[in-house]
């Protein structure tokens, strides 16, 4: 048993740290650290910097402009990026559609779309969930009816993250109405400026805007925009789910959140002493730290299995559940630590009043917004179903 990285992995870790220290603009990392979140411009600038380094599609094969990183390299890159307060890579093109096109797309589709994902000409968003098809995704109703060289698309998608910045969308649509619902789904690419597509914002609990509803009315989509065979969409979606589950534990976010919490607990006071000396609060911090250390090892154990060619099926669902619970507990403590200073509705004007210590004016907003992480990407209830199905198999 050896818990340390190999010499090559350690060298890569040092390279990533050095790169982040040099290349990540401080105005961007400051915005991420403050909880205000990266702006569209921040995300695009960071993508460009990473692409110039060749790391934007780090896990992509070399022939498609990537580095061919394995699971450990990806983990090192993502954890260090989170610790450095880099913006999260927008996953829809790079981590979702890209791998799908490499696996299922035609050579023409790969040649057309993959370079545009890397250089930022295309910003993809995802059209999966519908108002009536959330956890039960296979019941989706948005339909694509073939009419000669086109599909006619009608229906509605929802929870489309950052769709307001996107120019293209990949969707799961229904192309067959009889038989098992999973067998009548296709994977279709669309330009958001096609006539008949309308995007409407959904405001979230803390007041922010990051998700959308998308409406499709008689949208004419060339049949060439189909990925894979017709009615093969569910297979593609399941393949994609496997890719979405890299970094599912979010350990980098949690480690960073814990470091910020520890700093905060030393700066705010209760009963005339630093909060970190308060036994009730310190007990919560110590407990969540132990949970986090354990989860980091669980995560590395699974990564190691994946890196050495082992088979993971339902197990990563454990990481999703535990990872989100730990992050949410850290968000809870960061909110709680502020006491009344967590109460103001965040705004730039208030930052100047220094009601909360610097970088902590958004703690309550972050806590409320991050209730989403145990809901999206397959809720923790669905993850438990996956685990139960996997473990109770006769």
Partner 1 sequence: MNFEMSDDRRMLSDTLRRYLADAYPFEHRTAVAYDAPFHDPEKWADLAELGVFYALVSEECGGMGGHGFDIVTVFTELGRALCPEPVLGQLLAASLLRDTADALEPILDGSDRYALAVGEIDAPYEYGTPKTAATHVSGASYTLSGRKTVVYGAASANRFLVTASLPNGPLGLFNVSVEDAEVIGYSMIDGGPAGEVVLDGSPGTLIVDDAGPLLEPTLDLGALALCAEALGAMEIAQDMLVDYLKTRKQFGQPIGAFQALQHRAIDLAIEIEQARSIIILAAAAEGTPDFPKRAAQAKHLVGKIARQVAEEAIQMHGGIGITWEYPLSHYAKRLVMIDHQLGDSDHHLERLMAGLVEG
Active-site positions read 244
Q: Is the backbone of residue 111 left (phi > 0), alpha (psi -120 to 50) or beta?
A: alpha
CA distance 391 to 394: 9
Nearer to partner 1 by Cβ, of 259 and 283: the residue is 283
CB of 207 to partner 1, least distance (A): 7
Q: What is the maximal distance between C-alpha atoms in the chain?
A: 75
Which of 294, 354 has the CB closer to partner 1? 354
Q: Which residues of 109-125 are buried (b: 16+ CB within 10 A; e: fewer)?
A: bbeebbeebbebebbbb
How far apart CA 43 and CA 90 sit, in angstroms, is: 8
Rounded to whole angstroms, the Cα distance separating 359 from 45 reads: 22
Shorter beta-carbon distance to partner 1: residue 21 or 388: 388
- Rounded to a whole number of angstroms, the minimum distance from the CB of residue 263 to partner 1 is 16
B/e letters for 233-257, b = 16+ CB within 10 Å, e = fewer, are bbbbbeebeebbbbbbbbbbbbbbb
Least Å from the CB of residue 27 to partner 1: 26
* Minimum CB–partner distance for residue 288 and partner 1 (Å): 15
* Strand 168-174 versus strand 124-127 pairing type: parallel
Q: Which residues of 171-194 are buried (b: 16+ CB within 10 A; e: fewer)?
A: bbbbbeeeeebeebbbbbbbebeb
Binding site for partner 1 (CB under 8 A): 129, 132, 134-136, 139, 158-159, 202-207, 211, 268-272, 278, 280-281, 328, 332, 335-336, 338-347, 349-350, 353-355, 364-365, 367-369, 371-372, 374-376, 379-381, 384
Radius of gyration of the chain (CA): 22
Of the candidates 77, 21, 33, which has an alpha carbon nearest to the alpha carbon of residue 361? 33
CB of 295 to partner 1, least distance (A): 20
Toward partner 1, which CB reaches closer, 47 or 335? 335
Q: In the complex, what is the shortest distance from the CB of residue 254 to partner 1, in angstroms, rounded to a whole number?
A: 18
CA 174 to chain centre: 25
Nearest Cα residue to 363 out of 22, 33, 55, 120: 33
Nearest approach in angstroms of CB 387 to partner 1 is 12
Q: Is the Cβ of residue 177 or residue 195 nearer to partner 1 in the bound state?
A: 177
Q: Which two tokens stand for residue 208?
A: 């922010």
Nearest distance from C-beta of residue 340 to partner 1, angstroms: 4
Closer Cβ to partner 1, 221 or 330, answer by number: 330
Q: Which of 100, 218, 198, 217 is nearest to 158 (CA)?
A: 198
> Residue 288 or residue 302: which is nearer to partner 1 going by CB?
288
As a whole number of angstroms, the distance between CA 366 and CA 337 comes to 13
Residue 348 near residue 278 (C-beta atoms within 8 A): no
The residue among 76 and 364 lying less far from partner 1, judged by its C-beta, is 364
Q: What is the DSSP string of 75-113?
A: HHHHHHHHHTTPPPPPHIIIIIIHHHHHHHS-HHHHHHH
Cβ(69)–Cβ(59) under 8 Å? Answer: yes
């Amino acid at each position: 048993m050896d818990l340390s990285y190999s010499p090559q992995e350690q060298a890569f870790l040092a390279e990533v740290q050095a790169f982040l220290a040099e290349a990540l603009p401080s105005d961007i990392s400051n915005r991420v650290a403050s909880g205000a979140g990266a702006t569209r411009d921040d995300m695009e600038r960071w993508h460009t910097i990473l692409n110039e380094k060749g790391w934007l599609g780090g896990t992509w094969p070399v022939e498609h402009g990537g580095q061919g990183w394995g699971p450990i390299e990806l983990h090192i890159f993502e954890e260090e990026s989170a610790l450095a307060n880099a913006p999260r890579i927008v996953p829809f093109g790079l981590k979702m559609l890209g791998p799908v096109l490499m696996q299922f797309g035609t050579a023409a589709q790969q040649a057309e779309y993959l370079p545009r994902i890397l250089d930022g000409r295309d910003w993809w968003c995802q059209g999966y969930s519908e108002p009536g098809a959330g956890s039960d995704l296979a019941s989706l109703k948005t339909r694509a009816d073939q009419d000669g060289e086109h599909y006619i698309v009608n229906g509605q998608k929802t929870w489309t993250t950052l769709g307001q910045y996107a120019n293209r969308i990949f969707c799961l649509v229904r192309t067959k109405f009889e038989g098992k619902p999973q067998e009548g789904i296709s994977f279709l690419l669309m330009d958001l400026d096609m006539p008949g597509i309308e995007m409407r914002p959904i405001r979230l609990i803390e007041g922010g805007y990051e998700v959308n509803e998308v409406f499709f009315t008689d949208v004419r989509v060339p049949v060439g925009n189909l990925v894979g065979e017709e009615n093969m969409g569910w297979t593609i979606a399941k393949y994609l789910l496997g890719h979405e589950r890299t970094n599912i534990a979010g350990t980098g976010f949690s480690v960073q959140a814990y470091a910020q919490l520890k700093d905060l607990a030393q700066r705010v006071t209760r009963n005339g002493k630093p909060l970190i000396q308060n036994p009730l609060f310190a007990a919560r911090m110590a407990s969540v730290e132990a949970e986090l250390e354990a989860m980091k090892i669980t995560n590395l154990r699974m990564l190691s299995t994946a890196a050495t060619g082992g088979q993971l099926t339902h197990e990563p669902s454990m990481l999703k559940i535990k990872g989100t619970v730990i992050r949410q507990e850290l968000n809870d403590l960061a909110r709680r630590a502020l006491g009344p200073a967590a109460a103001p509705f965040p705004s730039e004007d208030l930052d100047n009043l220094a009601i909360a210590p610097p970088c902590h004016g958004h703690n309550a907003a972050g806590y409320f917004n991050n209730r989403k992480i145990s809901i999206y990407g397959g809720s923790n209830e669905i993850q438990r179903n996956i685990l139960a199905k996997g473990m109770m198999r006769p």
